[in-house]
Structure 1
């Protein structure tokens, strides 16, 4: 027994010495630079990439075997562009594991690593070929020098059948014995990467970013065994702009053979700006795992938290958002989904409101056999200075299986509180979704819309509805039909959307009757100012406002309503509208129809027709995304009095006739649209009246002033519009032309039984400042047939100009005596009438002749009354 033990021991020692001598001879005669060209050739033949090693490969033996490289770079596939480069790298190899067919790298130190990662227009990354598993097209054998020195022992490297990163798959021939992939392993005891850079380019999104100051440290790295990873770096971005620090730790495990990857105990922290996000703190913690073969993703104890601010068109301050996932598993190969206690929260402050979002999925399980789970719920709350919006969503009764999911009830409960108005929506429906056919539906929608407002009749208003909605992603379409009851009237709405990624929408809306006052009640009119007290008494002083109310009035800015039609650039809509009766305020239109088309930033409402106050409305409206609006409308045989009375409750014009409007404007606010108004308005009326002024009565009052100019008491002459007065006409023709909000009356012809009225100069209509300045030339044409004509017989054929001016809501008028086109009457007026009228109009509270009951002496020694009488006689040819 001792003999055999001694022989075995001697044999082991001899084998060890031979091996040791062979290794020593191999290392002393091994020249690593002899393999630079061969290594570059292997890389090019396999990957069509150029490997370049500019410096010498240095071999060191003590204290351990190591290789040092300088200036290493690798190109992109079939390109001269650099994919990755290293300034210097050192590999230290453990000797003892080599005796057992294990290649253990004690330590890898890399300095100045750079990589350029690119995603092309097709979504392919430029490193895909390096990680793909594919068979080699040919084996490449490399004869190592020094074989004769080691008793003719030869070592061959045969090209691996998979990428060289999977080193355990690398067959290695040692003498006449082959170490298979399962025998030969590569371990890296640790990696130390300093001052690295990774450049990122995305040609689809245009994103350009880079990670600089990258430092990575790992524990022992080997396949299918977990190892620690710690990294730090700085993220810089050009588009979107980014400047953030990154720190992270994790326990990583990967197996290229099985294509499984996992990261446990993840702890990643980001501080800084990333695009519009200014992150005070963004962190990710938890465990993640992914299998490429089974397309299985799992997560456990995941917490994703963000605190900071978000910029952009709608900036968010005090942003806080979190996603907590205790358990999540998605296995596409097995059609399985499992969720446990998933919770999402977000809150923050928008410029004019704050928001709060919550979503909870307590337990969900979906498999090919069954689908079940607890109710999923979500809420959205928005709070502003004058409005509050809340929406609650609940999905309950999950059933079916992975092929076809069903919900017993999908419930939406929402409310909008704005001022004194509350709008509530309640809707429920069963739902289903076919996973393989990619289609589903809300099969029986049922609900109602309730509006509460003190301005509404009865204080509230309800719109019950039923309907359905179907979505088919294979056909790429969505179809919905809604049947509702509005103001005891039936309403049907059908809509179909196709090409859902960039939807094209077609709809039809039909209704028996729509009363917009029940949905949008008119704003209550402001109380009229108190009437002036009689007998010249001083009007009562208004009650003093509290100081707080005065301060609020002063602080409240007057804000013009903004008009923004940019959304027209992104919509494609076609539709038809037909309503039996439409009511807006007091305006009523019957048999209303219109066709709508919105595409490429343009909106056209054509075929606009309605029965309107004994007449017809016809025309079209256009608009575009630049806020340019146009109207081409005509009213035919319309009763103008009832129309204007219904529109603004101030019917100043009546008659039956035609109105044609062809105008255009551009602007983002109502004042801007007024200032840019261009176009024409034509009015042709018959058998009507103009309320506010009675021209015949005004002439009679003027005539009375002339007759009583020296009596000491002049009769009153009206100078303000009065609704109790009106001028009747048999025909009225008017043409107004607008240029940048300024209107000019080009034509004004009014014919009444006694009068003929035309426009004079000025004849302007300023809709920007709501002002009118118009001179009308009045002639008495018929003095025989009416009492008015007989009373005005002595003014026949005299052109009397009357100036109408002032704000639209407070018009006044004056006879322009100086402009009367007759020299005789001008002389008579100059002799004293203008002075008297000036005194009369200037101070009605003072007596006409305060110092004496007799008239003052005339300027000329003549009888003024006789002078005016003679002038009138001369004018009349008597």
Structure 2
């Protein structure tokens, strides 16, 4: 025989392969011949007798010959203990056996494939699971379980918690576990349905099984859902876990839980060095919570530590939450430092009490400093609604502060606020001015209104003392409404310049901001008010007034220049500074030549009453009914005050009281006031003396006669 013959090797290969195939077919045929369906049904029906469960096969049972021997069982049903109610149903169960043990007469299951699985698990009021009996060790009998591969397709799992009255459902469950006897890998996916919105779940991890303990060396789990108001949202968990099925205990280390959303963009992460869990409690000794949310023009940031965090049936609690919460919009930042225990009852009722909080406001609106407040109080709320309530009291820049805030909603929150401040001096934070603070309506800097974008707020404000520029208010109270379109102070009242102010104010945010003011003033000290508002110091007195004006502008200066509406005033026991009408009348005619002169700061005309009504039109105030009365003189006047040009043009008719100036009976002195508001010129109104005269000669003759009349009337 020639061993190097090609025909010989071909014959060996053909005959050898044929022999192997023949042996394989023979063994498969032997298995098929030995298969006894009735015996298999009987074995299966008695498999769980010790638990009180019934196992029934409603479909056919056929042997499997490839890729390894086994059984294909159709319509397998398992009942609840001691009941005919179905616990689990499998439309098709493929069981694969190991070759070598089978040849020695042992049946060792190495792989399971389940299709169309439906199972129901319940947790009783005592905390026990309905499948506890299936997790107990039992005698292997004639069949042993040494799985190397597990496959599940189109599974459905129903979970009912009788203690909380909740139900969960996992649909389209799929699971693949390979190499279970050594270094296994597990992948699974499902859809969680809880009656609100579907959640897509996916898990992958290396897997090690040792007796009753399963180790997940590198778990990577993801849950994805469409959340109203957030768009696609994702929850991810990573870390190392150990599951003990004998004690039903779980432990983990180096864990991370992350939540992210699409609209708005947000990330929230909890890092946990160590975790221990059972069916009744999850315990986390320490954790670190951090997050970031970007919404509209705002950014929110959170960084906090958690001590002794526990999750139970009743909810979640931590002995201490300590960290920082930041809100930033442009260059404006609001920082909260929080220190408080945390309780989340039923995973919805939030409570943090006692709460210690320090709030810091940094903004270009307050370029010279920060507003810092230290407060104590409580925070509670309902996350299902959602609603948060904050009640705190403390100090703001050394002054007493009390705040209550109710927030409704999370993404587009609405707030109801009550704020009480003992003293607020904005001059400590506004831009430093050179020299004396400027009058408010002479300030040309733009009024910042961008901050309105971040508020939908209603409430009440009380300020014991408010200072801005030279302007002062005390005991300010108002109902406030703030939203991106407008700022409104309703039912506003305050002690102001020894008097009382009441009324409403509205600032509407348009292309050009619009201001509406309706105020009633009582017993007001008028001079310091006019000085601090308009830098006008030529009028003194105490009295009442009504203001109903509107204005449009981007600064207080522009608002002043567009003031339109009505102003009424009535003063008592006051003075018109710059001229002494009584002294001038007493010295006529010698003083006539002095009447054409600037106002003198040391001169004034006192009066018992002064009243006037002004009609404003784009910063120009006109009046036709000014009346001044005193014991010695009476004055009637008309004219205008131009706030845009800072000038006055007023005509007054001065009459002496004949009972006090008998020699001046019948003498009317027409007086003209013109020039800058702070330095007007008082002069005889020669135009009034020659009224009605046409030619220059007639005017000169009339002027001479009038002056002669005035002089001769008062001569002895």
1:635 Cα deviation from its structure 2 partner: 0.8
- Alignment-derived partner of residue 493 in structure 1: 403
Contact 2:632/2:656, CA 8 A, preserved across alignment: yes
Q: Which has the higher strand share?
A: 2
Distance 1:481 1:826 in 2: 80
1:407 Cα deviation from its structure 2 partner: 4.8
Which string of whole-angstrom CA distances, capped at 9 and with x for unpartnered residues, describes residues 784-809 of structure 1? Answer: 637xx97xx59921424x14234x55
Contact 1:799/1:821, CA 8 A, preserved across alignment: no
- SS state at 2:173 partner: coil
Counterpart selection for 1:774 from 633, 640, 649: 649
1:737 Cα deviation from its structure 2 partner: 1.4
1:681 Cα deviation from its structure 2 partner: 0.7
Contact 1:378/1:394, CA 8 A, preserved across alignment: yes
Counterpart selection for 1:689 from 575, 582, 600: 575
1:466 Cα deviation from its structure 2 partner: 0.8
1:410 paired with 2:322, answer yes
1:820 paired with 2:698, answer no
Distance 2:562 2:397 in 1: 39
Distance 1:642 1:459 in 2: 28
1:507 paired with 2:385, answer no
Distance 1:378 1:823 in 2: 86
Counterpart selection for 1:469 from 379, 389, 400: 379
- Distance 1:625-1:259 versus aligned 2 partners, 3 A rule: farther
Structure 1 unaligned residues grouped into runs of 5+: 13-98, 103-160, 169-181, 186-222, 226-254, 263-286, 303-322, 346-356, 383-388, 529-557, 708-714, 832-863
Distance 1:725 1:525 in 2: 30
Counterpart selection for 1:749 from 620, 627, 649: 627
Contact 2:237/2:258, CA 8 A, preserved across alignment: yes
Contact 2:256/2:269, CA 8 A, preserved across alignment: no
- Distance 1:729-1:380 versus aligned 2 partners, 3 A rule: farther
Where does 1:563-582 land on structure 2 (aligned, <5 Å)? 563=449, 567=453, 571=456, 573=458, 575-582=459-466
Contact 1:824/1:871, CA 8 A, preserved across alignment: no
Which string of whole-angstrom CA distances, capped at 9 and with x for unpartnered residues, describes residues 657-703 of structure 1? Answer: 11100122355554554455331111111111123444567789996
Distance 1:596 1:11 in 2: 90
Which string of whole-angstrom CA distances, capped at 9 and with x for unpartnered residues, describes residues 572-592 of structure 1? Answer: 52x334455555556554444
Contact 1:446/1:467, CA 8 A, preserved across alignment: yes
- Alignment-derived partner of residue 524 in structure 1: 433
Which string of whole-angstrom CA distances, capped at 9 and with x for unpartnered residues, describes residues 182-232 of structure 1? Answer: 9999xxxxxxxxxxxxxxxxxxxxxxxxxxxxxxxxxxxxx979xxxxxxx
- Alignment-derived partner of residue 796 in structure 1: 667
Which string of whole-angstrom CA distances, capped at 9 and with x for unpartnered residues, describes residues 803-847 of structure 1? Answer: 4234x556555554344346899979976xxxxxxxxxxxxxxxx
- Alignment-derived partner of residue 259 in structure 1: 174
Alignment RMSD, CA only? Answer: 6.3
Counterpart selection for 2:597 from 718, 739, 751: 718
1:292 paired with 2:191, answer yes
Structure 2 unaligned residues grouped into runs of 5+: 1-14, 26-64, 69-88, 95-111, 116-149, 153-169, 178-185, 194-198, 205-217, 221-234, 261-266, 438-443
- SS state at 1:526 partner: coil
- SS state at 2:346 partner: coil
- SS state at 1:654 partner: strand
- Distance 1:436-1:519 versus aligned 2 partners, 3 A rule: farther
- Alignment-derived partner of residue 619 in structure 1: 503
1:608 paired with 2:492, answer yes
Where does 1:49-198 land on structure 2 (aligned, <5 Å)? none
1:440 paired with 2:350, answer yes
- Distance 1:424-1:437 versus aligned 2 partners, 3 A rule: closer
- Distance 1:326-1:463 versus aligned 2 partners, 3 A rule: closer
- Alignment-derived partner of residue 596 in structure 1: 480
Counterpart selection for 1:872 from 707, 711, 715: 707
Counterpart selection for 1:728 from 594, 601, 606: 606
- Alignment-derived partner of residue 540 in structure 1: none
Counterpart selection for 2:388 from 468, 474, 478: 478
Contact 1:301/1:324, CA 8 A, preserved across alignment: no
Where does 1:295-310 land on structure 2 (aligned, <5 Å)? 296-298=201-203
* Larger RCO (alpha carbons 8 Å, 6+ apart): 2
TM-score, length-normalised on structure 2? 0.54
Contact 1:757/1:776, CA 8 A, preserved across alignment: no
Contact 2:171/2:192, CA 8 A, preserved across alignment: no
TM-score, length-normalised on structure 1? 0.45
- Distance 1:521-1:691 versus aligned 2 partners, 3 A rule: farther
Distance 2:412 2:679 in 1: 52
- Distance 1:877-1:604 versus aligned 2 partners, 3 A rule: same
- Distance 1:828-1:504 versus aligned 2 partners, 3 A rule: same
Contact 1:398/1:408, CA 8 A, preserved across alignment: yes
1:634 Cα deviation from its structure 2 partner: 0.5
Which string of whole-angstrom CA distances, capped at 9 and with x for unpartnered residues, describes residues 7-31 of structure 1? Answer: x97999xxxxxxxxxxxxxxxxxxx
- Alignment-derived partner of residue 156 in structure 1: none
Which string of whole-angstrom CA distances, capped at 9 and with x for unpartnered residues, describes residues 315-339 of structure 1? Answer: xxxxxxxx9997599x9x9999976
Contact 2:504/2:518, CA 8 A, preserved across alignment: yes
